[in-house]
Structure 1
Amino acid sequence: MIRNDADETLRKIIQIAETINEYYLILSIDGIDPNLASRILAEIGDIKRFETREA
């Protein structure tokens, strides 16, 4: 039951991530699956907050 809830939550997180363009850029990196791509995106947040790549 808990495992099913976790799986459903992950599916919903990935669905939300799929609405963000940067998700597909992250997903295009070799070795990154949808789960990891959505976690990276969540950690970065809005990428536009970085004015330059040095930020």
Structure 2
Amino acid sequence: MASGTSSSVLQPRWKRVLGWSGPVPRPRHGHRAVAIKELMVVFGGGNEGIVDELHVYNT
């Protein structure tokens, strides 16, 4: 970075969820998750076998 320039660094922040509605994913590993704007998307993974479930949460 050149001297005299500034950068904007995004800092992750956690927020406690006090309540929710809808299905909750079963515990799993090997899944993929991504945050896109106000959405949290969780796909796949498994615990006792592989699942192809897709969960989308509006944060």
TM bucket (normalised to shorter chain) is under 0.3
Of Structure 1 and Structure 2, the greater strand share is in 2
Of Structure 1 and Structure 2, the greater helix share is in 1
TM normalised by structure 1 equals 0.28
